[in-house]
Amino acid sequence: MDVFTIIGLVAATCTTISFVPQVIRTIKTKHTKDLSLTMYSIFTTGIFLWLVYGILIKDLPIIIANAITLLFTFTILILKIKYK
């Protein structure tokens, strides 16, 4: 594994993990009033497209980060719609 891939994986880990506290809090409290439905809709779409892009260019850090982040952002989006 080269240094560029390692940097990409570390960056992907940091940005992906940043969603964990929001997912946990949203699941526990069921409070989504302060979350923007528009922002999470657009962001989730963007993450999905980054995942597709990563798959097309076969870039492991992009694929892993966006697959996991998509699960987190989609979860928040669904909970936002459910608890609206």
Task: Please give the C-alpha separations between residue 12 and each of 1, 31, 60, 78, 80, in angstroms, as whole numbers.
Answer: 15, 27, 10, 23, 25
11: domain CATH number is 1.20.1280.290
**Tens digits of per-residue pLDDT, 57-82?**
999 889 989 999 999 999 999 999 99
Distance CA 42, CA 57 (A): 23
What is the total count of domains within the chain?
A: 1
Which domain range does residue 62 map to?
3-82
Q: What is the pLDDT of residues 10-61, one digit of tens each?
A: 988 999 999 999 999 999 999 999 999 999 999 999 999 999 999 999 998 8
Amino acid, res. 55: I
CA nearest neighbour of 37 among 66, 79, 68: 79
Among candidates 51, 48, 37, 20, which has minimal Cα distance to 82? 37
| Residue 32 confidence (pLDDT) | 93
Specify the DSSP element, H or E, that contains 31: none
